[in-house]
A and B are shown apart, each in its own frame.
Chain A
Amino acid sequence: MTSPQIEIQVIAAIVAISCAIPGVFLVLRKMALISDAISHSILPGIVAGFFITQDLNSPLLILLAAITGVITVVLVETIQKTGLVKEDTAIGLVFPALFSIGVILIAKNANDVHLDIDAVLLGELAFAPFDRLILSGMDVGPKSLWLMGSILLITVSLLFLFFKELKVSTFDAGLSSALGISPVVMHYGLMSVSSVTVVGAFDAVGAILVVALMIAPAATAYLLTSDLKRMIGLSIGFGLFAAIGGYWVAHVLDASISGSMTSVLGLVFLGVYLFAPQKGLLAVLYRQKQQRTEVSLITFLLHLNNHSEENERHINHLNEHINWQKVRSKTVVDLALKNNMITIKDEVVSLTDKGNDFTQRALEYILTNKDERIETMKDDFFLFRG
């Protein structure tokens, strides 16, 4: 690997991690679309900042543009508060308006600004190593590396310091407010960090793909864990994987780095969405199938419980009585047999003690609908789990 190659991967990795952290809280607060709004509406801020600083990586530009991001959030909330339109409509009104101002500013001053629409939308990581930071004559590395590194450091420090506050204000804003941890302060703090991160990442990955870097790792992690810390860790891991993986995909395909990073993220999400052990599509389908079988089993056991007469319990007539297909009847009878819930004697099915006990408990649950009745059954049966 050449040194620019390494530098690009390091920058990509830092950008991905910086985006993944606020992304977790945006996803949990159901504010994923706000990151989309911020990433677009900071454009006029970036252009205006560039007129003043003449440097895309200047911290002043970052601050100016980030303020535009926070203004976007305020505007969306103001419009929403009128009660005339819903939040999604308010977002849809605000960010295209600001974005279009940015587009016009670039078009009018194309000669002065080293920005073009492609770079705005998609970013260009490959050029990042060309813009070096020179300190007293020494080349200390690409400017964007230092910039994103600083943003990441700030994000991680804030996360570490205010983890508890972020958690409680995200989970229960009412309690948070009553405890004296202002949810408004946390909200705007998160919005500011998100804005700064988006502006910093803008140069590298552009307005559209930065949204993917914020939302996709968190959404993927959400499917895999029910622990907030682990969710943050996993998000960072997915971001990192997409950054490095995406770089090499781009290398092999000779394609856009940011595009490849996002594609990797999309594929990772798809894989997790299908195969996640608890919340994945296949797991859910499997669980539903199990539940159907268990409902059938209980129906069957209740039928036996209800009828003492032998003709109702004759194995060859069960199909007719319960009105099931032969295959299904056989599956259910086999399952009941395997669990020692029934015995078959002279082709007549009877409940065993275990079957009886199980049926009673199930019946009690169905009648009372009390969860504590089934706590002991949860380990054995899908049907009674959440």
Chain B
Amino acid sequence: MKTPLAVQVDDLTVAYNYKPVLWDIDLAVPEGVLMAIVGPNGAGKSTLIKAILGIIKPIAGSISIYGKPYEEQRKLVAYVPQKGSVDWDFPTTALDVVMMGTYGSLGWIKRPGQKEKKAALEALEKVGMLSFKNRQISQLSGGQQQRVFLARALVQNAAIYFMDEPFQGVDATTEIAIINILKELRKAGKTLIVVHHDLQTVPEYFDWVTFLNVKKIATGPVKEIFNDDNLTKTYGINYKVAINK
């Protein structure tokens, strides 16, 4: 039997002020892959995720999550935005931020209770942040903040995880901790779509990759398509030269 498609994007075009940042993207992500989205700055990597999640309205195209529109499948999806997209001076604690992951399944008005708190504590423990649960979020290091964001996604208990540069500004220990959790999630049959910057680690971390630069260059298994040809097409320079510099 064919693996079902976790995410399918057809003819997606997104524009800011009539300037296209994503142009006619077709993308099919099979269930159970750990996929990197790579591409140069301004390639539209974050925009692609935001468009799939309905945060940005595309001007054309359609998106489906397990065959249905995103609005009907919210509960299957977890999202880790870029760490820099929020104000870490916001008056709240690590535990409280993780609890926000439960708000989607709670729906409007209903408050989180003991069940949600327990789930949040478990997620904090998984990312090794339990002892920081009551720490104000501005008092956390960059790596710790990223772990809190990951815990918040874990608590959503989703089938598909979208992550926007989860390794940005974290130290090596945190990076390893995070990738181990991602690999564990994949083993459990989850699908993970990760905007990634560090080309060197792609073969080691991911099994699937999408090359993006306003248009989609290629998508498929890392073993088959992560090569100089696609890298050069995406980055517009000879990849080998760039990486040796």
List A residues at the B interface (Cβ < 8 Å). Answer: 28, 30, 83, 161-165, 167-168, 170-172, 174-181, 222, 225-228, 230-231, 369-372, 385-386
Contacts and interface: CB of A to CB of B under 8 A. Distances in A.
B171 A370 contact: yes
12 contacts: A28-B87, A28-B91, A165-B108, A171-B87, A171-B90, A171-B100, A172-B85, A174-B55, A174-B81, A178-B54, A181-B104, A370-B173
B97 A171 contact: yes
A309 B90 CA distance: 51
A30 B86 CA distance: 12
B89 to A, nearest CB: 9
A172 B144 CA distance: 17
A163 B103 CA distance: 11
B133 interface: no
A161 B54 contact: no
B104 A180 contact: yes
B55 A228 contact: no
B240 to A, nearest CB: 31
Which of B50, B141, B173 neighbours the largest number of chain A CB atoms within 10 Å of its CB?
Answer: B141
Interface string B218-241: 000000000000000000000000
Contacts of A162: 108-109
A186 B125 CA distance: 32
Contact of A386 (B77, B85, B111, B138): B138
A167 B143 contact: no
A28 B90 CA distance: 7
Contacts of A83: 17
B211 interface: no
A94 to B, nearest CB: 21
Contacts of A230: 91
Interface string B95-135: 01100100110101101100000000000000000000000
Chain A contact residues: helix, strand, loop or mixed: helix
Contact of B53 (A28, A178, A226, A371): A178
B68 to A, nearest CB: 14
Contacts of B112: 164
A170 B92 CA distance: 12
A371 B86 contact: no
A171 B100 CA distance: 10
Nearest to A227: B91
Contact of A177 (B17, B54, B111, B139): B54
Contact of A178 (B74, B96, B138): B74
Nearest to B17: A83
Contact of B103 (A168, A222, A372, A385): A168
A177 B141 contact: no
B198 interface: no
A371 B91 contact: no
Given A178-B104, A181-B108, A227-B91, 14 more contacts: A28-B90, A28-B91, A83-B17, A161-B109, A162-B108, A164-B106, A172-B100, A178-B53, A180-B104, A181-B104, A226-B93, A231-B91, A369-B171, A370-B171
A371 B81 contact: no
A361 B172 CA distance: 19
A230 B77 CA distance: 32
Nearest to A168: B100
Contacts of A227: 91-93
A28 B104 CA distance: 22
A172 B103 contact: no
Which of B87, B100, B136 neighbours the largest number of chain A CB atoms within 10 Å of its CB?
Answer: B100
A350 to B, nearest CB: 34
B100 A175 contact: yes
Which of A165, A172, A175 neighbours the largest number of chain B CB atoms within 10 Å of its CB?
Answer: A175
Contacts of B206: none
A233 to B, nearest CB: 12
B97 A164 contact: no
A164 B138 contact: no
In the A-B complex, the 10 residue pairs with the closest CB atoms: A179-B104, A371-B141, A226-B136, A174-B81, A178-B79, A178-B53, A386-B139, A177-B55, A226-B91, A172-B86
A364 to B, nearest CB: 13
A92 B89 CA distance: 27
Nearest to B88: A171
Given A172-B85, A180-B71, A167 B53 contact: no
A7 B90 CA distance: 37
A167 B50 contact: no
B141 to A, nearest CB: 4
B92 A181 contact: no
A230 B173 CA distance: 35
Given A167-B92, A386-B138, A178 B171 contact: no
A167 B152 CA distance: 15
A177 to B, nearest CB: 5
A178 B91 contact: no
Interface in B48-89: 50, 53-55, 71, 74, 77, 79, 81, 85-87
Given A172-B85, A231-B91, A371 B144 contact: yes
Contacts of B139: 385-386
Which of B79, B87, B103, B141 neighbours the largest number of chain A CB atoms within 10 Å of its CB?
Answer: B103
Interface in B34-59: 50, 53-55
Nearest to A81: B17
Contacts of A176: 103
A177 B71 contact: no
Given A165-B108, A167-B100, A181-B108, A172 B92 contact: no
A171 B86 contact: yes
B104 A228 contact: no
A372 to B, nearest CB: 7
Contacts of A171: 86-87, 90, 92, 97, 100
